[in-house]
Structure 1
Amino acid sequence: MDLLTLINNGMQNQFFDMVVPVIYKATGPSIVPVVLAILLILAWALKWDKIKNILLLCFFALFFTYVFVFTLKLSYVSPRPYVVLSNIRMVCSDNGFNSFPSGHVAISMTVGSVILMKVKKHRSVLIVLLAMYMVVMAFTVMYAGVHYPGDVAAGLIVGLVSAFIAVFLSKRYLNSFSNI
């Protein structure tokens, strides 16, 4: 039994059937920027400059993530698993767009990586939290039947590369971010 079938069918239960769609919708490409914008407004209002700058850097990194994800989705035709494989259940609705790479995983990895690269305190705790979050995201998109394991791996790479590019460029060209 392959990993996708194991997660999508082998671990099927009512709890996951209820929770996975909520996680999937709450971490979507249109929700994450809204949450970051709300946090940015709050950070601006409370004069939390370091948090504000990290959130701005997250937006900058997400620009690269969206460009990479949509370029790959348009370039590489890969139907969703539930469309191609008869043994894969679709647990929650999606846009039906190409599967490769996982935008949910890429977005999550981008934001998590930027935070990990810029926050110096409690680094070991942040690493553990990011790892746990990425496991939850990988599980969520495969349990939902919308991504293959390769899509998840590609999403992790896209997110990490996007974060590195944004942090590098901000240090090199944007003085306001270099002291974060």
Structure 2
Amino acid sequence: MTNLGNIVVLLLICVVLYFAGKNKDKKVALIAILGLAITSLLVSIIKPTVGELRPFLVLPHVNLLVQENGMYSFPSGHTSLVFTIATILGLSYKFKNVKLIYITLAIATIVGFSRIYLGVHYPVDVFGGIIVGVLSGLLSLKLGEGIFKKLGVYNGIY
């Protein structure tokens, strides 16, 4: 589950959505890619600024279950990225008249929890990732709709 927060996996989802989808899907995919870019930029600025070391580097009883190269922990990049995509996709689509947001946020929450379970993040890192991801997703939806409106291809995303 943790790999669903990997940027390569999320970009692949966006590419598939773009090439396999219709007009709305293409717009959502482009907005999602914008969201991933915004989130990646924010996380790359916040991590070294906060400088919180990962749990396995500080706590002797943490068993690292995956290989992790980065030394900084806050916010969780995987969690931030998956919550960005969960917000964008969840607010853009409905499934049988129910917004998909409940399903996408549930999946994103499992990814966030997996980061703690694997020993690479503290709970506060995941919570910070949730905030960064949701806000980036909402910002991307707003910016994307504005861009499409200016280009004259706007027909509403959600």
Common fold: TM-score over 0.5: yes
SS of the residue aligned with 1:97? Answer: coil
Structure 2: distance between partners of 1:72 and 1:165: 17
- Per the TM alignment, residue 41 of structure 1 is displaced from its structure 2 partner at its CA by 2.3
Tell me the residue number matched to 1:30. Answer: 8
SS in 2 for 1:30: helix
In structure 2, the residue matched to 1:169 is 143
- How far does the alpha carbon of each residue in 1:73-125 deviate from its partner, in whole angstroms, 9 at most, with x for none? 12111111011001111000112231110011111100010112222454646
Q: Which has the larger radius of gyration?
A: 1
Residues in 1 aligned to 2:141 and 2:67: alpha-carbon distance in whole angstroms? 34
- CA-CA distance at 1:35 after TM superposition: 3.1
* 1:62 CA drift (Å): 1.3
Is the partner of 1:129 in helix, strand or coil?
A: helix
CA contact (8 A) 1:170 1:178 kept: no
Identity %: 26
CA contact (8 A) 1:116 1:123 kept: no
Kindly indicate whether residue 90 of structure 2 is the aligned counterpart of residue 116 of structure 1: yes
Measure how far apart 1:142 and its partner are: 0.5
May I ask how many residue pairs the two structures share in their alignment? 154
Structure 1 residues 54 and 151 mapped into 2: Cα distance closer, same or farther (>3 Å)?
same
Aligned AA (1:27): G
RMSD, matched Cα: 1.9
Deviation at 1:56, TM superposition (A): 0.9
Who is 2:133 aligned against?
159
CA distance in 2, matches of 1:155, 1:127: 17
Q: With structure 2 as the length reference, what TM-score do the two structures score?
A: 0.86
Counterpart position of 1:179: 156
CA separation of 1:34 and 1:121: change in aligned 2, threshold 3 A: closer
How many angstroms does 1:178 deviate by?
A: 5.2
Does structure 2 conserve the Cα–Cα contact (< 8 Å) formed by 1:81 and 1:148? Answer: yes
1:88 equivalent in alignment to 2:77: no
Instruction: Write the letter of the residue equivalent to 2:120.
Output: V
Moved more, 113-122 or 98-107: 113-122
Structure 2 residues not aligned, in runs of 5+ = none
What secondary structure does 2:30 align onto? Answer: helix
**TM-score, length of structure 1 as denominator length:** 0.77
Q: Which residue of 2 aligns with 1:40?
A: 18
Conserved? CA contact 2:93–2:99, under 8 Å: no
